[in-house]
Amino acid sequence: MRKLFNPLSRLLDYLWFTSILFFIIDILNLDLYFYLFATASLTILFAPIEAVLIKCFGTTLGKFIFGLKYNELFTWQTAFEFSFRRALFLKTKARIIQKKPSLFPHLTAIFTALLLSCLTISPDATLNQAYKILPFEFLQELKIKRNGGGNCPDGWTKLNSEKELPFLIFFPDQPKLEEIIKPIPHSTHILDYKEYTFEKYSLGYVDLPASWVKWGSNLVFKGTLQQVLSHEKGNLIEKKKTLHEQYPAMDYKIERSNGTTLGRLVLAGTTIYKLEVIHPNNARENPIENANLFFNAFHLQN
């Protein structure tokens, strides 16, 4: 049985190392060719990792779990020579000895190997947890790249549309689309208003005639708010100009009998966007924080 420990330990080393490689490839959204390259070059790619481990510890993670250790002191040169000979399946002279496993270090090593081997099961969950713990900006960039170019709360999904849209938006789940066509008085043109809604979250947008927006965003926001208030039947208690990315925007708050609506209007070219989050009076979550999550999940394509 002990004769199998050495090949099993090496198999375990390849298993956790492959998981790390595939995890990196996955979160970077690299092509299938990188998976094929990593698989074909696995022994070569692992060789420098093995060299560092045996130089510093005289063993690898897999060998340590089975109580195996090399019975010699390596220099950096001999460690790398030995590891690359192993990677090319050439004969080596290093002798392996077996030590009696100590409980706590070996349980820690087993847990570490299992954890590393499970990385490819849920890369999104792993990346999200790492983003919460580690204050590194590149993790934010990886997360944004992975979910399609936008920033959104954990578990939210990007809007799927048959047509190419000029924006990215994320909802807790796929929203429903409602389309309303309104004729413009004294004109042959129409307003085609589209609104995506999922539970308390909604995004509506409409392309306005160029003559309506030529006087600036203030008049557009004022007219849009009047339309919103006529539809929602509430009291506008707060409004303020802001920016959404580089576009002019206005945040507003409407109090109604059954709850509060927090919204944001964004003007991009001749298109006005309306984002809203409805909070019932008995809602436990922070309305402002929740609304900001939704607003930040909306990204205009340049």
Q: Would you kindly state where each structural domain of the chain is located, as residue ranges?
A: 2-141, 149-300
Non-local (6+) Cβ contacts of 161 within 8 A are none
Identify the pLDDT of residue 11: 84
- Whether 302 and 246 have beta carbons less than 8 Å apart is answered as no
Q: Around 292, how many Cα atoms within 13 Å sit in the side-chain half-sphere? A: 7
- Whether 165 and 199 have beta carbons less than 8 Å apart is answered as no
Question: What is the per-residue pLDDT across 163-215, written as a single tens digit (0 to 9) for each?
Answer: 888 888 889 888 999 998 888 776 677 889 999 999 899 999 999 888 888 88
| Residue 289 token pair | 């924080």
- 149 DSSP 8-state letter: S
Q: Rounded to an integer, what distance in angstroms lies between the CA atom of residue 168 and that of residue 148?
A: 8
CATH of 149-300, one of 1.10.10.10, 3.40.50.300, 3.30.1360.120, 3.40.1000.10: 3.40.1000.10
Confidence at 250, pLDDT banded by 50, 70, 90: very high
| Residue 64 token pair | 């340590």
Q: Is the pLDDT of residue 5 over 70?
A: yes
Q: Rounded to an integer, what distance in angstroms lies between the CA atom of residue 26 and that of residue 21?
A: 9
Q: Rounded to an integer, what distance in angstroms lies between the CA atom of residue 79 and that of residue 48?
A: 9
**Which parts of 179-263 fold into alpha helices (H)?**
210-213, 217-232
